């Protein structure tokens, strides 16, 4: 059975003290009431070391939201996968649509980041998803196929076992619009099919594929009930303890 995961992507929110407080309250809850899913907090870089300390010997996992494409050196302002790993984090989000669009990260650089993160022992949450115009013109399958193939398909089968794919339709991110459970299922199944063709059925069946985009306590259970939806990548609702916990608890 493949792993179910709910990851909170805090994006660029919360100063240090607020972030530590949120992490502590979520951590306390799941120490008492362990979840069926793996729960990952993807915090800003500055929170990582402090949150790692809080999460020690607990049930939650920790991740970053981006990493450098180079291992070390004169890259002012960048944070390498090795640095992330050294904080105690185990995951990194790569290819979020905000990185692709605002920072012009293309498949080539995202692929380099993914490889470097994996070679440093991090698990990668690799995001894909189409913009509204692409969906409206029926190009979403083609767009997602291109992102998956060019972002990931030169990885080895062994590396793929440490990759999680997050399907996040850009038109659903932060907009209050959500893909219907059927729309999510259709494209998740399509993504799993691509992995099956490339890496074989077993690897594809074990691949965790998350849905992201305006996930809330009110819609999470229905989306998570789809057979190829293995959890969620949560933005805004991950900043509210009760909402985030309710979404994690929607995993069956
Ligand atoms: P929202 O849940 O705020 O729509 O954000 C989704 C997302 O981008 C998670 O990475």
Does ligand 1 come within 6 angstroms of the Cβ of 214? yes
Domains of the chain, by residue range, sit at 5-248
The residues annotated as belonging to the active site are: 96, 168
Q: What is the pLDDT of residue 176?
A: 87
* Superfamily in which the 5-248 domain is placed by CATH: Aldolase class I (3.20.20.70)
Q: What is the pLDDT of residue 90?
A: 98
Ligand 1 pocket, mutate which of 102, 215, 232 (most atoms under 8 A from CB): 215
DSSP string computed for the chain: -PPPEEEEE--S---HHHHHHHHHHHHHHHHHS--SSEEEEE--GGGHHHHHHHHTTSS-EEEES---SSSSSS-TT---HHHHHHHT--EEEE--HHHHHHS---HHHHHHHHHHHHHTT-EEEEEE---HHHHHTT-HHHHHHHHHHHHHTTS-HHHHTTEEEEE--GGGTTTS----HHHHHHHHHHHHHHHHHHH-HHHHHH--EEEESS--HHHHHHHHTSTT--EEEESGGGGSHHHHHHHHHT--
Q: What is the pLDDT of residue 10?
A: 98
Nearest CA, atom 7, ligand 1: 235
Q: How far is the CA of 12 from the centre of ligand 1 (A)?
A: 12
Atom number, ligand 1, closest to the C-alpha of residue 233:
9
Q: How far is the CA of 114 from the centre of ligand 1 (A)?
A: 20
The C-alpha atoms of residue 139 and residue 144 are separated, in whole angstroms, by 9
Angle of the 140-152 helix axis to the 107-119 helix axis, nearest 10: 40
Does ligand 1 come within 6 angstroms of the Cβ of 9? yes
pTM of the model: 0.98
**CA-CA distances (angstroms) from residue 244 to 7, 12, 65, 146, 247?**
9, 17, 18, 31, 5
Q: What is the pLDDT of residue 83?
A: 98
Q: For every one of its 252 residues, what pLDDT tens digit does the chain have, with 9 covering 90 and above?
A: 899 999 999 999 999 999 999 999 999 999 999 999 999 999 999 999 999 999 999 999 999 999 999 999 999 999 999 999 999 999 999 999 999 999 999 999 999 999 999 999 999 999 999 999 999 999 999 999 999 999 999 999 999 999 999 999 999 999 988 999 999 999 999 999 999 999 999 999 999 999 999 999 999 999 999 999 999 999 999 999 999 999 999 998
Q: What is the pLDDT of residue 147?
A: 98
Q: What is the pLDDT of residue 1?
A: 84
Q: What is the pLDDT of residue 116?
A: 98
The C-alpha atoms of residue 56 and residue 40 are separated, in whole angstroms, by 13
Q: How far is the CA of 115 from the centre of ligand 1 (A)?
A: 24
Ligand 1 pocket, mutate which of 6, 8, 9 (most atoms under 8 A from CB): 9
């Amino acid at each position: 059975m493949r792993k179910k995961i709910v990851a909170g992507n805090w994006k660029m929110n919360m100063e240090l003290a607020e972030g530590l407080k949120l992490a502590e309250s979520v951590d306390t809850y799941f120490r008492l009431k362990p979840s069926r899913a793996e729960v990952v907090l993807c915090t800003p870089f500055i929170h990582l070391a402090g949150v790692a300390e809080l999460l020690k010997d607990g049930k939650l996992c920790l991740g970053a939201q981006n990493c450098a494409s180079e291992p070390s050196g004169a890259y002012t302002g960048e944070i390498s996968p090795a640095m992330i790993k050294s904080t105690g984090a185990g995951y990194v989000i790569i290819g979020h649509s905000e990185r692709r669009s605002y920072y012009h990260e293309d498949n080539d650089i995202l692929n380099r980041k993914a490889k470097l993160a994996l070679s440093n022992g991090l698990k990668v949450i690799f995001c894909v998803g189409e913009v509204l115009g692409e969906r409206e013109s029926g190009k979403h399958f083609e767009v997602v196929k291109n992102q998956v193939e060019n972002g990931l398909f030169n990885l080895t089968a062994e590396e793929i076992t440490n990759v999680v794919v997050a399907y996040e339709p850009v038109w659903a991110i932060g907009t209050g619009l959500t893909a219907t459970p059927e729309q999510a299922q259709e494209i998740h199944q399509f993504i799993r099919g691509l992995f099956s063709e490339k890496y074989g059925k077993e690897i594809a069946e074990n691949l965790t594929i998350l849905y992201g985009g305006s996930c809330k306590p009110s819609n999470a259970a229905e989306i998570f009930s789809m057979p190829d939806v293995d959890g969620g990548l949560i933005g805004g609702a991950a900043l509210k303890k009760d909402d985030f916990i309710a979404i994690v608890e929607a995993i069956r």
